[in-house]
């Protein structure tokens, strides 16, 4: 007797799984925010930008610096579509819920395509693996990022491409140009694969080549013209992360691809998520642009599996798996699905999705209650300099800067710091925070609270 039988209607299965994972992502993300684990970098930054969009203003983000225009950092104007929702429900939680819904949406096209390819059981496995995939789970629980829009767009575009629906694949991929500047290269990859698939049919490869040209031109334009025009330094801030601050030789760039070994873990996990069988699909080539800049970068944050950068790769490797399933024998298909499901199961305890069933994650400690009361004493509309995690709790109702930034004018009305914040090393080094606290007190700021490693200063 079967304990569970997947629904016979693919839409019911796909949307049901998406709704379930959206609820899980929301629970984890909102609870982490409630516990004070969210950070100014990046939740606070994006809330300040969307808050500005809500009032019809340019996305000036004080957390990045005085008068800093966020479109000079990364090109992500698509986040402005959240402004009407934020106006109705102002607060960081709105961004977290929106991200949960967007990322869960990636389950739908992959589940429906898997249903066509292998039936309800295959669709159930692919849907669950997509929702529980380590890259998406990590991103959905880690503050808010613009790639929340990219994840479902990539899923719909890759599924359409796998079904040989070229127009749909092109239309789903084009909005990626408004999500982040590097995704234009991924759009170009879609165009090249469309051209490859259509080379013997009508209208031929030309539409795909045009799409590839548009994607490449968009990336070049945004990186060399648009971003520098908004950037306070007049350039693209991330070139130095590619060249390491110098002029690397082609040999040194090639050596970066496979060293240090943490990059091998990234590549292995991606291949295992695709059940290794997905490596046979041309769709896996869609990962090359993102993997290229990550592996060539001198920034170690891009190399591993600990941040949100792998979320955009999950729908691509799983689309490659589904595509490969349609061209292999049942025995290999079952083995590949088992490997992919095993990776998802093994990584669940490592990434924050497991917090849903951890009682300690839902408790309110005395220190957490005291921290909330402390922040509640800061009035709405105030100007505040705060440490990284505390800043994320205030951006929805105050003008917030980081405590390590040199104050402008008379300085903020309030300064609030959590000395136990483990994230203070970046973007604020501990020494910089300590130096600024001394400067504030020399300016006459009065200590209102200094208890349990929490410090609240008020301007005289």
Q: Which two tokens stand for residue 413?
A: 């009305």
Confidence of residue 385 (pLDDT cuts 50, 70, 90): very high
CA distance linking residue 420 with residue 137, whole number of Å = 26
| Residue 172: Cβ within 10 Å count | 22
Q: Give tens-digit pLDDT for 34-63.
A: 999 999 988 999 999 999 999 999 999 999
Average pLDDT value for the chain: 92
Asked if the model's pLDDT at residue 336 lies above 60, the reply is yes
pLDDT computed for residue 301 by the predictor: 86
Q: Which of 247, 254, 275 is nearest to 133 (CA)?
A: 275
CA distance linking residue 2 with residue 126, whole number of Å = 20
| Angle, vertex CA 367, rays to CA 362 and CA 369, nearest 5 | 65
Q: Give tens-digit pLDDT for 66-78.
A: 999 999 999 999 9
State how beta strands 399-402 and 383-386 pair.
parallel
CB contact set of 320 (below 8 Å; sequence gap of 6+): 158, 274, 278, 279, 281, 283, 284, 286
Asked if the model's pLDDT at residue 285 lies above 80, the reply is yes
Q: Which two tokens stand for residue 205?
A: 């490869």
CA distance linking residue 46 with residue 308, whole number of Å = 15
Q: Give tens-digit pLDDT for 181-232.
A: 999 999 999 999 999 998 876 778 899 999 999 999 999 999 999 999 999 9
Q: Are 28 and 140 in contact (CB under 8 A)?
A: yes
Q: Give tens-digit pLDDT for 120-176.
A: 999 999 999 999 999 999 999 989 999 999 999 999 999 999 999 999 999 999 999
pLDDT computed for residue 246 by the predictor: 58
Q: Report phi then psi at 402, rounded to 5.
A: -80, 145
Q: Average pLDDT of 360-371?
A: 92
Confidence of residue 448 (pLDDT cuts 50, 70, 90): very high
CA distance linking residue 230 with residue 419, whole number of Å = 34
pLDDT computed for residue 259 by the predictor: 81
CA distance linking residue 81 with residue 79, whole number of Å = 5
């Amino acid at each position: 007797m079967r304990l569970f039988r997947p629904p016979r209607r693919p839409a019911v299965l796909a949307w049901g799984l998406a709704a379930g994972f959206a609820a899980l992502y929301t629970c984890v993300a909102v609870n982490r925010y409630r516990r004070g684990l969210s950070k100014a970098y990046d939740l606070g930054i994006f809330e300040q930008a969307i808050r500005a969009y809500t009032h019809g203003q340019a996305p000036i983000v004080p957390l990045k610096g005085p008068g800093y225009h966020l479109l000079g950092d990364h090109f992500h104007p698509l986040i402005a579509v959240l402004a009407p929702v934020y106006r109705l429900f102002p607060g960081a939680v709105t961004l977290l819920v929106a991200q949960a819904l967007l990322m869960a949406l990636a389950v739908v096209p992959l589940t429906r395509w898997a249903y066509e390819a292998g039936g309800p059981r295959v669709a159930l496995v692919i849907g669950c693996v997509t929702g529980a995939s380590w890259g998406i789970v990590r991103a959905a629980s880690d503050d808010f990022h613009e790639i929340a829009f990219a994840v479902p767009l990539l899923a719909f575009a890759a599924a359409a491409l796998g079904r040989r629906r070229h127009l749909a694949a092109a239309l789903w991929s084009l909005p990626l140009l408004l999500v982040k500047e590097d995704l234009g290269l991924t759009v170009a990859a879609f165009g090249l694969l469309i051209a490859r698939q259509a080379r013997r049919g009508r209208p031929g490869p030309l539409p795909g080549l045009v799409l590839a040209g548009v994607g490449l031109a968009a990336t070049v334009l945004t990186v060399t013209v648009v971003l520098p025009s908004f950037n306070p330094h007049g350039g693209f801030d991330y070139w130095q992360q590619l060249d390491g601050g110098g002029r690397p030789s082609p040999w040194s760039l090639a050596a970066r691809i496979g060293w240090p070994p943490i990059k091998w873990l990234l590549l292995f996990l991606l291949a295992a998520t695709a059940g290794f069988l997905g490596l046979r699909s041309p769709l896996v080539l869609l990962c090359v642009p993102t993997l290229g800049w990550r592996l060539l970068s001198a920034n170690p944050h891009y190399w591993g599996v600990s941040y949100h950068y792998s979320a955009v790769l999950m729908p691509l490797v799983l689309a490659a798996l589904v595509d490969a399933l349609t061209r292999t024998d049942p025995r290999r298909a079952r083995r590949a699905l088992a490997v992919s499901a095993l990776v998802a199961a093994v990584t669940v305890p490592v990434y924050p999705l497991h917090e849903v069933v951890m009682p300690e994650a839902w408790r309110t400690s005395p220190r957490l209650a005291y921290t909330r009361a402390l922040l509640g004493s800061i009035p709405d509309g105030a100007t505040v300099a705060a440490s990284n995690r505390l800043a994320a709790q205030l951006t929805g109702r105050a003008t917030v800067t980081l405590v390590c930034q040199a104050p402008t004018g008379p300085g903020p009305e309030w300064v609030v710091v959590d000395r136990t914040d483990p994230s203070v090393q970046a973007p604020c080094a501990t020494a910089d925070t300590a130096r600024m606290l001394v400067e504030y007190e020399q300016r006459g700021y009065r200590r209102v609270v200094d208890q349990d490693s929490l410090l609240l200063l008020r301007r005289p």
